[in-house]
Amino acid sequence: MTRPFTLPAALMFASIIGLPASAQAPMATPQDPPPVPPVQMVPPSAAASATAVFTTAEAHAIRDYYMEHPDQVGPAQAPGVAESLTRGATLPSRLEAKPVPDALKDKLADRPGHEILIAGSVALLVESETRVIRDLLRDALPPAN
């Protein structure tokens, strides 16, 4: 019983006996690469906001600051207001939010076009122009007075 040649053996045999390249078995070609997806255009404000989040170090700095200065925690918010805050939502007008103290602001990253506000026990990273909430830390502060 004879065994058929495998492709590498057939190619090696063809090159040994001197067959022209056109007579040799065709080499396997790689598959076409997958298509490249189109470039998605992102508005400048959305591109800047994509990186506008609190870092772990900032979360610790905020929590530590208010643990050392519980007298600077603002009043409690109306029931349900703080719970309704979500990323991407517009800051409600009825929310009593105040900027963080300068001593804490110095410990946090500078984000042009954004401000950090405190509302009850929630720390908010808000776009200054649109008032859109980009990030929030729930229970970042001790319970409000």
In a 3-state reduction of DSSP, which class is residue 98?
Answer: strand
What does the alpha-carbon distance between residue 7 and residue 108 come to, in Å, rounded to a whole number? 65
Q: Please identify every stretch of the chain with a pLDDT value under 70, giving residue numbers as ranges.
A: 1-30, 33-51, 74-75, 78-79, 82, 143-145
What does the alpha-carbon distance between residue 128 and residue 145 come to, in Å, rounded to a whole number? 27
Instruction: Give the pLDDT score at 133.
Output: 92
The class (CATH top level) of 44-137 is: alpha beta
User: Angle at CA 67, nearest 5°, toward 61 and 72?
Assistant: 100
Under a CB-based contact definition with an 8 Å cutoff, are residues 91 and 97 in contact? yes
Instruction: Give the pLDDT score at 116.
Output: 93
What does the alpha-carbon distance between residue 115 and residue 128 come to, in Å, rounded to a whole number? 6
Instruction: Give the pLDDT score at 84.
Output: 78
What does the alpha-carbon distance between residue 89 and residue 119 come to, in Å, rounded to a whole number? 15
Q: Which amino acid is at 106?
A: D
Using only the alpha carbons of the chain, give its radius of gyration: 31
